[in-house]
Amino acid sequence: MNFLTALVTFENLHEVRRLCHWGPVIALTVIAVCSSMAILDSIIWYWPLDTTGGSFNFIMLINWSVLILYNYFNAMFVGPGYIPLGWKPEKEEDTKYLQFCRMCQGYKAPRSHHCRKCNRCVMKMDHHCPWINNCCGHQNHAYFTSFLLLAPLGCSHAAFIFIMTMYTQLYERISFGWSTVKIDMSAVRRFQPIMPFSVPAFAATLFALGLALGTTIAVGMLFFIQMKVILRNKTSVEAWIEEKAKDRIQYYQTGEEFIFPYDLGRRWENFKQVFTWSGSPEGDGIQWPIHAKCHQHTLTIEQLKQKADKRVRSQIQYRVVEDYNGACCPLSKGLNTFFRTPCTEEPRIGLHKGETILATRGTKWWMYGDKVLDDEQTKAGARLRGWFPRRCVEKCHYDTAVTSAMTSETSSEEKKVK
């Protein structure tokens, strides 16, 4: 029992229910299929265990499986870490710099955000990942990123086994019409397979190859995206906040200089904030190392300013200029939009030219917001919100009254937080 609790840490026993979700079911099925088929192909048809290379290959396959599952389950069950319910800062005067969460009945600590899926305020929330059925945040960021690295490496090894198995077993059975092309297969013929390479075995190997290649590409891209934000000591949410900060300063010409407070200036220092020898991240999830020109509430003050900005500007914000059918990965909207679709369970919304959208957050290629509905739909309580490609909308121009009101409210907000 001590070994099991050391291998995977459970916050509560009910966390096991996270496995009962389509994300973990699919992820664990892919891992099981690729691992088991790679092992079977190696010891039966490609690289027998009675050779040094075969033994080493077998050990590496087992090693990939163990490491992948270890980091996957820790990312799922350790969790991101949650702000205590009803939390408030030690100094009462700091509450004016923080947002209040009605759901958790407490203040949001710096870098924390409320997750609607988890129904809690998450420490240094990056995103809610359906594949682990949990948030990626402060406590499990290293486990999650390690999983994103190990999964493509293990699948690449498995894909090599699948390709070599089919090549060696089908070499003399399929004629390509190139009678003059000869490949030396003497080394392969020395090893007689334990059983014939049948049609079902070929189909299973081909299917596993497709899963392995698809996982290598998809998860590998996610790894590079995660490393990009980690080396800047940001999260996906904070990258969007920074982008909105620059947009706000440029639009109102306030002359402010926004410096992201958690970028320590060196990639290695940022890297060590997530990855440590002990496996536990630096910090308690509430207090953070910051840039020399910033303080603990630099980002939360900016969030308050953006919240004031949103209250006025949300009346007219983005206009739809391209139709969008609500597809998860729309190829017609460009390769970047296709490959960088948000990895979330949140819905997409269809768009039609001329509609108005109240955007609240997003990435470089996607945005999230509410569609402006007619009076009847509004009175009925209808609400349509979700993700849509950024290229499908353009910013609306603000009239003088709105700009004046925004300037006044922003000024009062700034006086409040100073």
Domain membership flag for residue 143: yes
- Any domain includes 112: no
Question: 224 with 271, same domain?
Answer: no
Q: Are 66 and 150 part of one and the same domain?
A: yes
Asked whether residue 50 falls in the same domain as residue 164, the answer is: yes
* pLDDT of amino acid 174: 55
Last residue of a domain, one of 230, 252, 284: 230
Give residue 314's pLDDT. 53
pLDDT at 197: 80
Assess whether 280 and 353 both reside in one domain: no
Domain count, the chain: 3
Same domain, 197 and 249: no
CB 368 within 8 A of CB 360: yes
Specify if 150 maps to a domain: yes
Instruction: Determine, yes or no, domain membership for 95.
Output: no
pLDDT at 172: 56
41 and 164 share one domain: yes
Confidence (pLDDT) at 64: 96
Kindly state whether residue 90 falls inside one of the protein's structural domains. Answer: no
Contacts of range 407-413, beta carbons closer than 8 Å, 24 or more positions apart: 407/252, 409/308, 409/311, 409/312, 410/252, 410/254, 410/305, 410/308, 410/309, 413/304, 413/305, 413/308
pLDDT for 170 equals: 78
In a domain, 244, yes or no: yes
- Whether residue 29 lies inside any domain: the answer is yes
Q: Which of 115, 121, 129, 392 is catalytic?
A: 129
Q: Which of 178, 204, 230 is at the close of a domain?
A: 230
* Whether residues 216 and 183 fall in one domain: yes
Indicate if 355 and 330 belong to the same structural domain. Answer: yes
Which of the listed residues 185, 213, 230 is the one where a domain comes to its end? 230
413: in domain: no
pLDDT tens over the chain, length 418 residues = 444 444 455 445 567 888 989 999 999 999 999 999 999 998 888 887 878 888 899 999 999 999 999 999 999 999 999 999 999 999 999 999 999 998 899 999 999 999 988 999 999 999 999 999 999 999 999 999 999 999 999 999 999 999 988 888 876 555 445 444 444 444 444 556 667 788 888 999 999 999 999 999 999 999 999 999 999 999 989 998 998 898 888 888 888 889 999 999 899 999 999 999 887 888 899 999 999 899 899 999 999 998 888 766 655 578 999 999 999 889 889 999 998 888 777 889 999 999 988 887 788 899 988 888 887 777 666 778 899 999 999 988 654 434 444 444 445 444 444 4
Confidence (pTM)? 0.75
Nearest C-alpha neighbor of 339 from the set 241, 239, 214: 214
Two tokens at 288?
Answer: 């953070």
**Cα dist. 3→35, 87, 255, 279 in Å?**
23, 34, 57, 17
| Residue 390 structural domain | 317-397
Residue 376's pLDDT is what? 77
Contact 290, 298 (CB under 8 A): yes
- Verify whether residue 129 is a known catalytic residue: yes
Pairwise CA distance, residues 126 & 339, whole Å: 19
- CB under 8 Å to 395, separation ≥6 — which residues? 317, 318, 319
| Shared-domain flag, residues 363 and 263 | no
Same-domain check for residues 299 and 326:
no
Does one domain contain both 192 and 269? Answer: no
Contact in structure between 124 and 140 (CB atoms under 8 Å): no
Question: Do 150 and 217 share a domain, yes or no?
Answer: yes
Q: Is 370 exposed, middle or buried (0-12, 13-18, 19+ CB in 10 A)?
A: middle
The one-letter code for the residue type at 4 is L
